[in-house]
A and B are shown apart, each in its own frame.
Chain A
Amino acid sequence: MKTLKIWMLALVMTGFATVGFAANGKKGDEVKFKTSAVCGMCKATIEKGLAYEKGVEKAVLDVDSKIVTVTYDAKKTSPEKLKKAVNELGYDADDSPATPRAYDRLDECCKKDSAH
């Protein structure tokens, strides 16, 4: 039982350490993609999706310009990987098209074609 407690504590501590590190805002590299995002809902999807990518420190989508700005750690990821991550969320990133299956699963209002 005692070991378990220690484990639990260790896990929680690791957690805070991770959060703390992320919040330190170490200045990383920055990359911008033009996406096929269409609404505020897409903003949430893209920002959340990218937040879970390895090496991503921050991702912000500007809905009007459809440009997502990603701050990342170049040791852990690359613009190519990030582009692919955007595609797998169902969105185009610059010239690289969305993964069809991911695109199909988007909510109707988030689809770039829903107007045509």
Chain B
Amino acid sequence: MYSTNYRVFWTMVFLGLCLPFLSVAQSLSGRVLDATSSSPLIGATVTWLGTTQATSTDATGYFQLKAAPSGESSLLVTYIGYKSDTIQVQGRSNLVIKLQSSGSLKEVTVTAKQDRYNAMTPTNSQVITAMDLTKSACCNLAESFETNASVEVSTSDAVSGAKQIQMLGLDGSYTLMTTDNVPALRGLATPYRLNYLSGTYIEAIDIIKGTGSVLNGYESISGQVNVRLRDPEKSDRLYVNLYGNSFAKWDANVNASATLTPKLSTILMLHTDQMANRIDGNDDGFLDLPLGKHYNVFNKWKYNTGKQWVAELGLQALRETRTGGQVGYRSGMPQVEGSFYGTESETDRYSAYSKTSYTFKNRPYQSLGLILSGSHHAFDSNYGARTYNGRQNSGLANLIFQSAFGNTAHTYKTGLSYQLEDYQEELAGKDYTRKEQVPGAFFEYIYQNSTNLTLVGGVRADHHNLYGWVYTPRFNVKYDFTPNTILRLAAGKGFRVANPIAENVASLISNREFVLKDNLAPEKAWNLGGSFTQYFEVGARKGAFITDYYYTSFQNQVVPDMYSSPYQVVFSNLDGRSFSKSFQAELQYELTEMLDVKAAYKYFDVRTTYNDQLLQRPFIPNHRAFLNLGFATPFDKWRADLTAQWFGPRPVPDMEGGHLNGGNSPDGIIKTRTVSPYAVFNGQVTRAFKKWEVYLGGENLLNYKQKNPIIAADRPFSQNFDASMVWAPITGRLIYAGMRFTIK
């Protein structure tokens, strides 16, 4: 009984050290074998734990089992003369179960594929599968969230084309981003980081709401986005994707993988995108999208002995240049009145990571893992006359040991970490440097009873060379009232050191002065929340209803105040309250065999104290709605998707008023105005052939645009110029087409 669980934990380590394990099997098949001789066991009974739904294996040991009342995740396998076994299915649809004859050690090997909805993890998690990724355009991580209701992607300004994610109504910098569960793309990389991973590099994305586990550090506050990169062992030999759109932006991707020896495999992933077309759809004299060239290489290696050792190595290099601003601007033009306004940036980034894990012999539940990662990020940029350059060198070491107390109902993970961050920033001639050295230790205890309760309690203590001791407690509970009715609760603390300039690059595209107060302290917040999941079946079709509520309260926050003065952005510590309340209700249902529906409603109440006034955070609508229709013919030969997003009215700072008045209103009250609601529609049609796929799609199909997104666009060198007041799409309808080619 117990060593089965050991095997499950062993598998979890094997697959990437820790948490995000998602989904429920739709239908299950597998076979039951004798553990020592591997001969099939005929007539073994396989039952969904806690139900009467069962089957027995056939003459060759095979069984097939209909997905239990969805949500069911444990199988009970019994056979006379053998030890019974409970198996956590964990989203696999295909199992090999090895039973040990009574008296000797047991073993179970679990192999298979992953489905979408998750009933397993103690945290509120969702998966965007590789199939979902092909539903929206190809190009990078930003587009990957388009068919998902939990993460919003917004454009940060009207010039740079940068996109930001938001979760729980909070800025993307409060979301921890990891690739293969290694923290990645932090610090100065934040503003454009969604461009740094091509959609074709990605196998799946795990989205975790709430603070999550302590294993990956103290940073996550609103949640975690884990990007699972393609696995060299399982990838197609060749994958090519070509994309072009009506703005004349081109994208090309090539993935090639090879198994060099039975143990060693590698994948090389290449990506480039090119935008050379000057578009000014709203005739404000500014390019709607910057011109740019992006080159990106990712190489991943995997060494798998199939026994105790697994090692992985990832290497990435990228180079990106962007030129934006007025249509007449050419590189190198002087930035003075009478010339053209322009923005330029050049980014070079190199990074590497390695993961090694060792599983103890005859103790499959016990393992030791070492994660090392390092990166160098450098950029030079200018926004009009203002220059902003940065360098960041990062290093991270994480040693994780996991084992069990007595039996696998009580497991733990513990370890040591060391993080180094060396920042050098220069803004308008002023230097900002910071060197962080943070050794830390963590411990996480997991209790899992055999039926319906999981408790995860974690704590970490880190010593920050600049800010002293940091203690991070986090707690998760999952309780299954029935296999179909699941309640999760989470509470935890997050801590992070803000990078105010990098996180507010959009505001650089204005002539506001950046004022950083001297005593900026780290950001700290508590996040409390929970979710309720109900799986159901109506007319033999499956569905799920998921609702969640999270409350995030900041103890300190670095508040960018653009609202008290139109000519400055003042960064100061929070003085007063700052919080976010987020509610979401989502319904997923298979309407017919070919049509899937996802609908969601979201309510956000996000407020921060600016200049002694607790105001609704600008640009964040209170109400949002989301609808996704997915259509697919048998065998996915034809697929069509339509996504609609509706954004309710929202407050934006009344800058026009402020500018015209030449400053803050005399009574010191910050003026806001409300902008009207709007909806955005995206759609795509895909036709699959044996090795080919062609797709045609459109974004912003109704061509909704914010009128005059740039304030004082005709006088970019004047004090009033401001391109950061963006709340709706600035580019109009976009039509794209592309093809994918695969050799398996």
Mask: chain B, 95-127; 1 = CB below 8 Å from A; 0 = not: 110000000000001011100000000000000
Partner pick for B33 among A1, A47, A54, A115, CB 8 A cutoff: A115
Is A100 interfacial (CB-CB < 8 Å)?
A: no
**Interface residue from A19, A52, A109 paired with B29 (Cβ < 8 Å):** A109
Q: A41-B29, A52-B637 are in contact. Are A8 and B39 (CB under 8 A)?
A: no
A-side interface mostly: helix
B634: which A residues are within 8 A, CB to CB?
A: 51
Complex Cα spacing A51 to B61, Å = 28
> Once bound together, how far apart are the Cα atoms of A105 and B259, in whole Å?
11
Closest A residue to B246 using CB positions: A4
Inside 8 A of A115's CB, which chain B residues have their CB?
31, 33, 38-40, 60-61
A62 to chain B, nearest CB (A): 13
**Contact between chains at B94 and A114 (CB < 8 Å):** no
Bound CA–CA A110/B111 (angstroms): 11
Could you say which residues of chain A place their CB within 8 Å of the CB of B688? 52
B738 interface residue per 8 A CB criterion: no
Complex CA gap A53/B31 in Å reads 29
CB within 8 Å of A: which B372-407 residues: none
Please tell me if the beta carbons of A12 and B685 are within 8 angstroms of each other in the complex: yes
B733 contact set on A, CB distance < 8 A: 1
Say yes or no for A60: interface residue by CB 8 A criterion.
no
A109 to B96, CA, bound (A): 6
> Please, how many angstroms separate the alpha-carbon atoms of A48 and B690 in the complex?
10
Interface residues on A, range: 20 to 34
Q: B638 contacts A19, CB within 8 Å?
A: yes
With a 10 A CB-CB cut-off, give which of A12, A54, A109 has the most chain B CB atoms: A109
Q: How far is the CA of A61 from the CA of B733 in the complex (A)?
A: 46
Check A102 for interface membership: any CB of B closer than 8 A.
yes
Q: Are B40 and A109 in contact (CB under 8 A)?
A: no
Contacts of A40 in B (CB 8 A): 27, 29, 64
Cα A110 to Cα B30 with chains together (Å): 8
Size of the B side of the interface (Cβ < 8 Å), in residues, is 36
Known: A11-B696, A51-B637, A115-B33. A41 touches B93 (CB 8 A): yes
Interface set, chain A 64-115, CB cutoff 8 A to B: 102, 105, 107-110, 114-115
Q: Is B678 located at the chain interface by the 8 A CB criterion?
A: no
Contacts of A52 in B (CB 8 A): 635, 637, 688-690
A109 to B30, CA, bound (A): 6
Once bound together, how far apart are the Cα atoms of A102 and B689, in whole Å? 18
Q: Contacts A4-B246, A115-B39 hold; do A108 and B635 have CB atoms under 8 A apart?
A: no
B73 to chain A, nearest CB (A): 18
The answer to whether A41 touches B94, judged by C-beta atoms less than 8 angstroms apart, is yes
Q: Which residues of B contact A105 (CB under 8 A)?
A: 744
State in angstroms the CA–CA spacing of A28 and B639 once bound together: 26
Query: Which residues of the partner chain B approach A108 to less than 8 Å between Cβ atoms?
Result: 94, 96, 109, 111
Q: Do B31 and A109 touch across chains, with their CB atoms under 8 A apart? A: yes
Pairwise interchain contact B687-A15, C-beta atoms closer than 8 A: yes
Contact, CB under 8 Å: B735 / A4:
yes
Contacts of A12 in B (CB 8 A): 685
CB distance from B259 to the nearest CB of A (A): 9
Residue pairs across A and B with Cβ atoms less than 8 A apart, 19 shown, are A1-B735, A15-B687, A39-B62, A39-B64, A40-B27, A40-B64, A52-B635, A52-B690, A54-B690, A63-B64, A107-B111, A108-B94, A109-B95, A114-B33, A115-B38, A115-B39, A115-B40, A115-B60, A115-B61
What are the 3 A-B residue pairs with the smallest beta carbon separation, nearest first?
Answer: A40-B64, A52-B690, A40-B29
Known: A8-B696, A40-B29, A114-B31. 15 other contacts (CB 8 A): A1-B735, A4-B246, A12-B685, A19-B633, A19-B637, A39-B64, A47-B635, A53-B690, A108-B111, A109-B62, A109-B94, A109-B95, A115-B38, A115-B39, A116-B39
Interface residues of B (CB under 8 A from A): 27, 29-31, 33, 38-40, 60-62, 64, 93-96, 109, 111-113, 246, 633-635, 637-638, 685, 687-690, 696, 698, 733, 735, 744
Q: Which residues of A contact B (CB under 8 A)?
A: 1, 4, 7-8, 11-12, 15, 19, 38-41, 47-48, 51-54, 63, 102, 105, 107-110, 114-116
